[in-house]
Amino acid sequence: MELSARYVALGDSFTEGLGDTDPMLPNQVRGWADRLAEQLAVAHPDGPQTFGYANLAVRGKKMRQILSEQIDVAVGMNPTLVTIYAGINDILRPKVDIDALVAGYAEGIAKLAGTGARVLVFTGFDASTSKVFATIRGRTAIYNELLREVAQDHGADLVDYWRFREYNDWRLWDIDRMHMSTPGHINMANRVLGQLGEAARIPMPGLPPVLAKTATETFRDNAAWTKEYVGPWVSRRLRGVSSGDALSARWPVLRPPLG
């Protein structure tokens, strides 16, 4: 059956779906983009089987890799909708040329917009509540301001993640404190549905109560988190390797996202 709508999701771990675990799916994750595609397929006027979805995002990818490995593949799919999130893995490096980073991004967004697809790009998150990642807040703000201009120049929609204050609630984050939890991914899918003008929303699961912790408990939690997640993350960057080096895109070809 011919596809009348084609949604292609591009990017890194944010779009791949890390933090929203599902052992039955490729790479054992689901994520907001899968959830978004399912809702869009249900609402598609020509029927869900005429709605195609591909997800080319792979964790750990930097801007150069996303532009060289994903953009042309997406263009070849003749998309009607594209979402792309890129650049934060570059911003996290010790040194980054943000002007050059966004200039390259602008070329990629121009290619995507040239297909006639509706293109959605995301600002970076304001990590002010994280003692570790708050150090990149200034870089992210500069990147976001440049990206706003790029989106305007190319007619792309801007999903302003920077302003989503609900993500100051750590219950929307996975245990690694780097990726959204399942509720965080569902909330992001709903945010994008709103950006697209869709009325449907995915029901949010109940969040666990916030438990008060003693200073000792907080110290132990932070020490365990640093050992289990921050240490390996820093080690990979020092060695120039990525957690996604051995992985492929989860949904590399267009397919109905339902059933």
What tens digit of pLDDT does each residue of 154-180 get? 999 999 999 999 999 999 999 988 899
Residue 258's pLDDT is 77
Q: What is the pLDDT of residues 109-154, one digit of tens each?
A: 999 999 999 999 999 999 888 877 788 999 999 999 999 999 999 9
pLDDT band at 225 (very low <50, low <70, confident <90, very high): low
Return all residues near 101 (Cβ < 8 A) that are at least 6 apart. 63, 87, 90, 91, 143
Domain annotation covers residue 153: yes
Any idea how long the chain is?
259
Name the residue with tokens 């010790």. Answer: 94
Name the residue with tokens 């200034």. Answer: 138
Domain annotation covers residue 223: no
CA separation for the pair 135, 40 (Å, rounded): 37
What is the domain range of residue 167? 5-207+247-255
Domain annotation covers residue 167: yes
* Pick from 62-71, 172-181, 190-199, 241-250: least confident: 241-250
Q: What is the pLDDT of residues 19-34, one digit of tens each?
A: 999 999 999 999 999 9
CA separation for the pair 56, 243 (Å, rounded): 16
Residue 234's pLDDT is 67
Q: What is the CATH number for 9?
A: 3.40.50.1110
